Amino acid sequence: MNISQAATASGLPAKTIRYYEDIGLIRPARSANGYRAFSDTDAHKLAFLSRARSLGFSIEDCRTLLALWEDRSRASGDVRKLAKDHLDEIDRKLAELHQMRDTLAHLVNCCAGDDRPDCPIIDKLAKS
Amino acid sequence: MNISQAATASGLPAKTIRYYEDIGLIRPARSANGYRAFSDTDAHKLAFLSRARSLGFSIEDCRTLLALWEDRSRASGDVRKLAKDHLDEIDRKLAELHQMRDTLAHLVNCCAGDDRPDCPIIDKLAKS
DNA sequence: ACTTGACCTTCCAGTTATGGGAACCCATCT
DNA sequence: AGATGGGTTCCCATAACTGGAAGGTCAAGT
């Protein structure tokens, strides 16, 4: 399988796949012409990575998850801990974003948004 | 006012303040010895930037907001539009994060997290 | 055989908003 | 004079790609 097929199969851009090889997440074989030759296993790994990334796991977390996936004697506790830590991080970000959102939504609501200069948004930024 | 005073007054690290000068957000005067000399106006701008950044506005948005702040004949509609667009962006991110969180929380809940290898988290990543 | 166009390759640079650290100048106190 | 604690510039690194240049390869059409 060439890189564009692997890209289609995994849902990842070819550029990203090359990058993943660069940083050692995958090691596809090479054909005689120098093209990357992706096995089904490679394609599965890429799909795995694509799903893990879409859950927001960092590349380094993905590297660990990939290793755990391939380790038949893994402890599910290790996976769970990784996921739980990530979940906690997401909860932190959610709280922060929610705070921003509420403040911002309030300000946007208060602002007339017309041609006049008076603006509670600017006022808020100007003096806390 | 030297940079460390400006930093304390604005809540921004000195490094960040130098960076903001680099990219032209502020233009503090210089003392004879080469030190940056921050006026009260500079300090106010920095505090303004600090608050805008803490609401998640990008640096480029901050640049625009600063210009609007200084423009006594601004239209509040311009400010409101910027804030509204940003709010919409935050809402998009919130929705995305929320989706991630729910999926992840479900998986974490399903996983025994013990010494055995069976793990619904890995299973989910391995085959959608 | 030749050319065209779609692939593929590597390498380099840019993105966002800083943070770290080196090497060096300046100010103040003992 | 030397120590300490500012300040300065400059360069590198971060995360996770994305874009683009320069060039090799392949399959098809003329």
Query: What DSSP line would sit under A73-117, residue for residue?
Result: T--HHHHHHHHHHHHHHHHHHHHHHHHHHHHHHHHHHH---SSSS
Q: In the prediction, which pLDDT does B127 show?
A: 85
Q: In the prediction, which pLDDT does A128 show?
A: 67
CA-to-CA distance for A88 and A76, rounded, in angstroms? Answer: 18
CA-to-CA distance for B75 and A102, rounded, in angstroms? Answer: 23
Q: In the prediction, which pLDDT does A7 show?
A: 97
A101 touches chain B (CB under 8 A): yes
- Phi and psi at A30, nearest 5°, equal -120, 140
Nearest chain A Cα to B109, which residue? Answer: A80
Do the Cβ atoms of A97 and B93 come within 8 Å?
Answer: yes
Residue with tokens 């100007």: A126
A56 touches chain B (CB under 8 A): yes
The number of C-alpha atoms within 13 Å of A65 and in the hemisphere containing its C-beta is: 31
Do the Cβ atoms of A113 and B80 come within 8 Å?
Answer: yes
Q: In the prediction, which pLDDT does B128 show?
A: 67
Who contacts B57 (Cβ-Cβ below 8 Å, separation ≥6)? B65, B82, B86
Biggest CA–CA distance in chain B, Å, is 69
Q: How far is CA A112 from the centre of its chain?
A: 37
Burial of A102 per CB tally in 10 Å (0-12, 13-18, 19+): exposed
Contacts of A115 in chain B (CB under 8 A): 75-77
Q: In the prediction, which pLDDT does B100 show?
A: 96
Is residue B36's beta carbon less than 7 angstroms from any atom in nucleic acid strand D? yes
For residue range B63-98, list pLDDT tens digits in order: 999 999 999 999 999 999 999 999 999 999 999 999
Question: Whole-number Å distance, CA B3 to C1' D4?
Answer: 18
For residue A113, CA distances in Å to A29, B3, B78, B125 come to 59, 36, 7, 46
Do the Cβ atoms of B83 and A107 come within 8 Å?
Answer: yes
Question: Whole-number Å distance, CA B96 to C1' C27?
Answer: 53
Q: Which two tokens stand for residue B18?
A: 């130098």
CA-to-CA distance for A85 and B88, rounded, in angstroms? Answer: 28
Question: Whole-number Å distance, CA B111 to C1' C21?
Answer: 44
Is residue A22's beta carbon less than 7 angstroms from any atom in nucleic acid strand D? no
Do the Cβ atoms of A119 and B72 come within 8 Å?
Answer: no
The 8-class DSSP code of residue A2 comes to -
B90 touches chain A (CB under 8 A): yes
CA-to-CA distance for B51 and A125, rounded, in angstroms? Answer: 6
Whether the CB-CB separation of B121 and B107 falls below 8 Å is answered with yes
Question: Whole-number Å distance, CA B112 to C1' C18?
Answer: 40
CA-to-CA distance for A3 and B71, rounded, in angstroms? Answer: 52
CA-to-CA distance for B26 and B46, rounded, in angstroms? Answer: 8
For residue range A70-82, list pLDDT tens digits in order: 999 999 999 999 9
Residue A24 binned pLDDT confidence (cut-offs 50, 70, 90): very high
- Residue A127, pLDDT above cutoff 90: no
Q: Say how many residues make up chain A.
A: 128
| Mutation site for A-interface testing, chosen from B45, B62, B108 by largest number of A Cβ within 10 Å | B108
The 8-class DSSP code of residue B29 comes to E
- Residue B28, pLDDT above cutoff 80: yes
Please state whether the predicted TM-score (pTM) of the whole model is above 0.85.
Answer: yes
